[in-house]
Amino acid sequence: MQYAFLALFLTFPLVALAQTAPADTSVYEIADTPPYPLMKSCQLSEHTGWTTDSVRRCAESQLLVLLARNIRYPEAARQNNTEGVVAVSFVVEPNGHTSQQKLLKDIGNGCGEESLRVLQALEEAGMRWQPGLVKGKPVRTRQSLPIRFRLQESLPYYLYAAGDTIYTVIETAPEFTGGMDSLATFVINTLEYPAEYADSCKTGIIEMALLIRGDGSVQVDNQLDFNNLGFEFQFKALRLALSTEGDWEPAKYQGKSVTSTLPLRVVFKSDQARCTAANEKFDRTMVLADAAAALLEADKAGEAIKKWSEALMLQPNNTELLYYRGSALLNLNKREEACLDYNRIKTLLGITWFEPVRRLVCGW
Number of helical H runs and strand E runs in the chain: 10, 16
Q: Tell me: the pLDDT tens digits for 247-272?
A: 999 999 989 999 999 999 999 999 99
Cα(304)–Cα(297) distance, rounded to whole angstroms? 9
Which residues are CB-neighbours of 86 under 8 A, at least 6 positions away?
Answer: 103, 105, 106, 107, 111, 112, 115, 146, 147, 148, 149
Main-chain phi, psi angles of 50, to 5 degrees:
-75, 150
**What is the DSSP-derived secondary structure letter of residue 195?**
G
3-state secondary structure of 322: helix
Whether 67 has a pLDDT exceeding 50, the answer reads yes
* pLDDT mean over 24-46: 82
Q: Around Cβ 162, how many Cβ atoms within 10 Å?
A: 9
Q: CB of 108 within 8 A of CB of 94?
A: no
Cα(312)–Cα(1) distance, rounded to whole angstroms? 26
**Polymer length of the chain:** 364
* pLDDT mean over 31-49: 80
Whether 241 has a pLDDT exceeding 90, the answer reads yes
State the pLDDT confidence band at 131, using cuts at 50, 70 and 90.
very high
Higher pLDDT, 277 or 56: 277
pLDDT, the chain, mean: 86
The whole model's pTM is what?
A: 0.60
Q: Tell me: the pLDDT tens digits for 99-119?
A: 999 999 999 999 999 999 988
Least confident of 5-14, 114-123, 209-218: 5-14
Which residues are CB-neighbours of 58 under 8 A, at least 6 positions away?
Answer: 39, 41, 42, 50
E-only strand ranges, 168-300: 175-176, 204-212, 218-225, 248-249, 251-253, 256-258, 260-268
State residue 353's pLDDT score: 84
Whether 161 has a pLDDT exceeding 90, the answer reads no
3-state secondary structure of 166: strand
State the pLDDT confidence band at 292, using cuts at 50, 70 and 90.
very high
Least confident of 51-65, 104-118, 344-358: 51-65
CA distance readout (Å), 47 to 55, 70, 174, 364: 9, 27, 45, 11
CA 176 to chain CA mean position, Å = 30
Domains assigned to the chain: 4-149 (no CATH), 157-271 (3.30.1150), 277-362 (1.25.40.10)
Least confident of 56-70, 176-190, 341-355: 56-70
Cα(215)–Cα(213) distance, rounded to whole angstroms? 5
State residue 203's pLDDT score: 96
Compute the half-sphere exposure of residue 9: CA atoms within 13 Å on the CB side of its CA: 29
State the pLDDT confidence band at 39, using cuts at 50, 70 and 90.
confident
Whether 64 has a pLDDT exceeding 70, the answer reads yes
Phi-psi region of 68 (alpha: psi -120 to 50; beta: other; left: phi over 0): alpha
Residue type, 47: H
Main-chain phi, psi angles of 337, to 5 degrees:
-65, -40
Least confident of 38-52, 171-185, 298-312: 38-52
